[in-house]
Structure 1
Amino acid sequence: MDWLGLHFITELPVNGQVILNCMHDPFLVLLAYLVACAGSFATLDMAERVAHAENLSSQRLWRWVGAGCLAGGIWAMHFIGMLAFQVPVDVHFQLPVTLLSLLIALLTSWLVMYTLSRPSLSFWQCLKASVWIGMGIATMHYVGMGAMQSQAKVYYQPVLFGLSILIAIGASLAALLLASHLRNGTGMFHQLFKYSASLVIGAGIISMHFTGMAAFNLLLPGGTVLPQPGEHNHLQLGVTVAVMTLLIIGSCISAALADKKLQKKDHDLQRVNSLLSQLDQARVSLQQVAHYDALTSLINRRGFNQIFAEKLIEKTHEGGMLAVLFLDIDHFKRINDSLGHDAGDELLKVLASHIKASVRSHEDVVARFGGDEFCILIDLHDRDEARQMAQRIMLKMKDPIELAGRRMVMTTSIGISLFPEDGKTCEELLKNADLALYQSKGSGRNGLNFFSANLKARATLELQLEEELRHALREDTGLMLYYQPIYDLKTGQASKLEALIRWQHPVHGFLAPDRFIALAESNGLITELDKWVLRKACQDLGELSRQGCDELKIAVNCSPLSLVREELAGEIEQALRSAAVAPRRLELEVTENALMGNITETLVLLQQIRALGVSLSIDDFGTGYSSLAYLKRLPLNTLKIDRSFIIDIPKSAQDMEIVQAIIVMAHTLHLDVVTEGVETFEQYQFLERHGCDFVQGYLLSRPVPLNDLRPVLDEINQRKHAYTVTPLSLVHGTTALM
């Protein structure tokens, strides 16, 4: 039976034919298996390289390298296997047919690598491909066997022939499944599994070969004399082919391993570059956070100081002027308090854009220092440029702004310092600009001021005074109370005293309150100062009791900042208890603006103080913004008319009418009236005539210390009639705070 040029027999002939006995060289068989395993391992390795290749050109390269390794391994295995076949006849091979078998092996191997280069393979895809690949391997095998020429005639056993094809298909299927499974693994276990898989695939390939050889039979016609085989060194040729094949496969595997390492290093380098890029982005982000304000996107204080330092170095070496403009939004706190912080933030964004629009975009540096403080750094040729810039900003600030359904206009105060005349360092110039800003705010806001030397001197003095005032409060040295009598027009006696603080400074001498009260309020010392005055006044009340003045009362001033503290009532009670003084002998004086600040909370606190038995007096009445609707609700005892309404009496008819109206109103509210600043006899007569209850002023006495108080009181109390009142001799030449 012939099929496709092959001769098949089912039974060997009994007569007329000579069946040749054939053997195989075991060493060459083992060598063929080794070559098949090496080719299989190379195929698995190249499939892994194809899967990990990052571009199409690399995939094509390793696909062809893998195809070459597999084709070389299969074909060399087949060739060495044929060399291992030993027959007692002279055998030679046709070169063209042998090369054709090599070409078939190469095409089949390329089909294997092409199949394995797909991203994913299903079982059915593998099965379909394995049929074609197995058929290709079988074709390569039988074409290669067809290249063998001898006197004997070749016959194949059909069962073993078909079995060899099935083995080829099965080996192909196993190779595809193992290769698709192993191409994405890593680690030692993966490598060991790959070695094991190579042995299995190699066994499958060589099994197909020797199954095909088992189906192979050589027959000589009957009567033919067996020729003597020629001398052929098949062993040497087989070893040479095996060594060359293994060297080529080993070189390909080494190249794949080197490429794998290079790719890993490239991945590591990319990862490092990616990390460096992320670090650079993080650095830029951190720099943005560190040097820019998140709300307005302006440079913050840190970024401003860095640019400022660079500008100073440049101007120091090249010459030129710089101006530092320190801005503060006037009454910005009212926006936060009334509309909320979100509205305040929106307002700051708008104001920042106004400032940005007022400066030269590329030359000037605008920064937000925090809160509502902004700072601008500009190059200039003369100080007028700085003035014009500040005026431009102030004008731009007055543009109406729509915010939270309201239309508002904001103003700003500006302080300016110049380099090099006002300082040579960042810290000095910023501090001096801040001092100039402080001057602008103190001058009524919505203005600008340049730094001057006297501002620095005054700031230095205030700082020194602040430190020394803290020391005086802490050590209880230097501070003292002076007392000015308050005369009762009905009884003709000095029934009250107003406590007025003084400071005997070790360097600057005797200081009146106007030198340090504002300083204490701005630096948070006023609360401690009020506590000291309260304790000292209560102690002096105890001393007056021991001198026989049991009914004398003392009025103590209370600052607006102290009036908002819930602890005030407890502190008053503690001071009275410590001095063993009756609460009715203490009177607390508060200004009307302090009372109107937070009327609900103030009312609760005043009621607590009144519940102690302490009297309450509203001081400097007429100079603030008190509401009569609230005034009648407050638990007050006394109303004090400010000296500004008395000073022009009797020359000013208008002031006289105002004072009369205040006295009538106070009496209507059942309040006693004290008029301070009485300095002339005419003023005294006017007040007595119109029903004023108490008078206080230089006409009676200047403020005096406790030790000098008793003679002054005796002198005042000895006057029996208003017409006999004459100014008391000035004591100590001191100045009163009225």
Structure 2
Amino acid sequence: GSIGVAVYPHDTRDTADLMRRAESAMHLAKRTEGNAIEFSSGDLNSDVRARVSLEGQLRRAVDHQEGFFLHYQPRVAAGDGRVVGVEALLRWQDAAGTVHSPATFIPILEETGLIVELGQWILTEACRQCHAWHQAGLPAVRMSVNLAAPQFRDRQMATSIDRVLAETGLDPNALELEVTETMLMADIEQVIRTLGQFRKRGVRVALDDFGTGYSSLAYLRRFPLDVLKIDRSFVADLQPSASDAAIVRTILGLADNLGLESVAEGVETAQQQAFLQEEGCQTLQGFLFARPQSAADCERFLARPASAIAHPGYRA
């Protein structure tokens, strides 16, 4: 049960306003997945109103496919700096011209289920762009697309992938789908079947933000995965003697033993790059090499020589 509480006369003396405040508090309680009690406050009501307004804008934007665009962040081979992959990242600019943080609007898209409809556009646009780069003679990078939980649970997801690949002409081996630990632990047998469907089509699967969830190693070895991505939180404070360094070494060893490609996110310094190279991480992604950027900027980045990208002092 979710309970919202507004107190008379502390919050308001108006009956209708009292009910509205209680309802706002109840909606906040629901957002914590239920079994919660929230009390009304001025800040709470303001936050709820802002969220309701943002949700309304997002619904209109999805209905009319307005304001959404993709940025792309390259990944490079740790050894020689070759660009081996690109991650597609969703961005949104509202009707007033404000570009919202993904951390603000993506959770709303997922909670409301709007991400399922929008996810098809993301997948199609990312695959179309990747195929265009291949056709232009640029490096044969792999396109990585994040799946939200509602998309992953959709029993028609594999069929949707077939349709997108046929429509865009992209080779299935050039597509990589990113999932999280939490998504994999929901229904183990169904997850294995779904991942198997992706693998059967030649599409690669990456386990994103590894180390931040609660996956069981006993199950992890059963999942047909291709890539293990080390969460940026472990990369941020890498010091040879720090606990984060020990965690990263362990994850890299696990990836190697399971035959998975290792990818480190959030690489921002030459010191982090050097540590990860020395420990055998295969692929690096982060601001040290390139920020998320437009398709045109990413195309120019793909045309750069690997030697320039691999240099520790290089910044895009």
1:468 aligned onto 2:57: yes
CA–CA distance in structure 2, aligned partners of residues 580 and 569 of structure 1 = 16
Give, as a single letter, the amino acid of the residue that structure 2 aligns with 1:435.
S
Q: CA deviation at 1:557?
A: 0.3
Structure 1: how far apart are the matches of 2:36 and 2:194?
A: 38
Correspondence 1:568 to 2:157? yes
Partner of 1:581: 170
Q: Deviations over 1:84-114 (max 9, x none)?
A: xxxxxxxxxxxxxxxxxxxxxxxxxxxxxxx
How many residue pairs align between the two structures? Answer: 316
Mapped partners of 1:452, 1:716: distance in 2: 56
Q: CA deviation at 1:441?
A: 5.7
Q: In structure 2, do the counterparts of structure 1 residues 431 and 713 end up closer, same or farther at CA, with 3 Å as the change threshold?
A: same
Cα distance in 2 between the residues matched to 1:504 and 1:479: 6
Aligned-partner SS, 1:704: coil
Counterpart-to-counterpart distance in 2, 1:473 and 1:687:
40
- Unpaired stretches in structure 1, ≥5 consecutive residues: 1-328, 330-372, 374-412, 730-738
The normalised TM-score by structure 1 is: 0.41
Match 2:195 to one of 600, 606, 614: 606
1:637-716 aligned within 5 A: 637-650=226-239, 653-715=242-304
Does residue 523 of the first structure (1) align with residue 118 of the second (2)? no
Distance apart, 1:419 and its partner CA: 4.8
Choose which of 199, 204, 220 in structure 2 pairs with 1:615.
Answer: 204
**For the residues of structure 2 that align with 1:667 and 1:435, how far apart are their CA atoms?**
49
Contact 2:11 2:40 in 1 (8 A): no
Indicate which of 125, 133, 139 corresponds to 1:536: 125
Give the deviation of 1:541 after TM superposition: 1.4
User: Any idea what SS the aligned residue of 2:236 has?
Assistant: coil
Q: Is the 8 A contact 2:71 2:88 kept in 1?
A: yes
The one-letter amino acid paired with 1:728 is R
Correspondences of 1:203-602 after superposition (within 5 Å): 329=1, 414-419=4-9, 421-422=11-12, 424-426=14-16, 428-440=17-29, 448-507=37-96, 509-549=98-138, 551-602=140-191
Amino acid at match of 2:99: F
Alignment equivalent of 1:634, drawn from 215, 223, 235: 223
Preserved contact between residue 719 and residue 725 of structure 1 (Cα < 8 Å): no
**CA contact under 8 A between 2:4 and 2:40: conserved in structure 1?**
no
Shift of 1:449: 3.9
Cα distance in 2, alignment partners of residues 648 and 420 from structure 1: 46
Q: 1:446, CA displacement in angstroms?
A: 6.9
**CA distance 1:459–1:477, shift in 2 (3 Å):** same
Q: TM-score by structure 2 length?
A: 0.92
Give the partner amino acid of 2:62. L
Deviation (angstroms), 1:550: 5.6
Shift of 1:528: 1.4
Q: Which residue number in structure 1 is paired with residue 313 of structure 2?
A: 726
Per the alignment, in what secondary structure is the counterpart of residue 208 of structure 2? strand
Could you give the per-residue CA deviations for residues 447-466 of structure 1, whole angstroms, max 9, x where no partner exists? Answer: 65432233333222222222
Corresponding residue SS for 2:308? coil
Note the alpha carbon deviations across 1:191-241, whole angstroms, 9 max, x for none. xxxxxxxxxxxxxxxxxxxxxxxxxxxxxxxxxxxxxxxxxxxxxxxxxxx
Render the CA deviation track for 1:155-190: whole Å, top value 9, x for unaligned.
xxxxxxxxxxxxxxxxxxxxxxxxxxxxxxxxxxxx
Give the 3 Å change call, closer, same or farther, for CA 634–432 of structure 1 in structure 2: same
**Cα displacement (A) at 1:549:** 2.4
Query: Which SS does the other structure have where 2:8 is aligned?
Result: strand
Question: Equivalents in 2 of 1:550, 1:678: separation in Å?
Answer: 22
On the 8 A contact 1:416/1:437 being kept in 2, the answer is no
Greater relative contact order (CA < 8 Å, ≥ 6 in sequence): 2
Gaps of 5+ in 2: none
Q: 1:601 to 1:446 in 2, by over 3 A?
A: closer
Letter of the 2:20 partner, please give it: K
In percent, how many aligned pairs have the same letter? Answer: 36
What's the offset of the Cα at 1:424?
2.4
Q: Please state how far the C-alpha of 1:709 moved relative to its aligned partner.
A: 0.9
Equivalent residue runs for 1:13-162 within 5 Å: none
Give secondary structure in 1 for the equivalent of 2:209.
Answer: strand
**Contact 2:173/2:202 (CA < 8 Å) preserved in 1?**
yes
The Cα offsets for residues 428-453 of structure 1, whole Å up to 9 and x where unpaired, read as 43331122234456579776543223
- After superposition, the C-alpha distances for 1:667-703 in whole angstroms (9 at most, x for unaligned) are 1000000000111111100000011010101111110
Q: Structure 1 residues 671-680 or 515-524, which shifts more?
A: 515-524
Match of 1:233 in 2: none
> CA 1:538 to 1:494, structure 2 compared with 1: closer, same or farther past 3 Å?
same
Q: Classify the secondary structure of the residue corresponding to 1:624.
A: coil
Work out the CA distance in 2 between the residues paired with 1:691 and 1:483: 25
Distance 1:651 1:446 in 2: 43
Cα 1:417–1:584, aligned 2, differ >3 Å: closer, same or farther? farther
3-state SS of the aligned residue for 1:659? Answer: helix
Q: CA-to-partner distance for each residue in 1:369-414, whole Å, 9 max, x for gaps?
A: xxxx5xxxxxxxxxxxxxxxxxxxxxxxxxxxxxxxxxxxxxxx55
How far apart are 1:497 and its partner, in Å? 0.5
Secondary structure of 2:264's partner? strand
Q: Secondary structure at the match of 1:691?
A: coil
Structure-2 change in CA distance of 1:703 and 1:589 (3 Å): same
CA positional deviation for 1:531: 1.6
**Distance in structure 1 (CA, Å) of the matches to 2:7 and 2:175:** 50
Letter of the 1:430 counterpart:
M
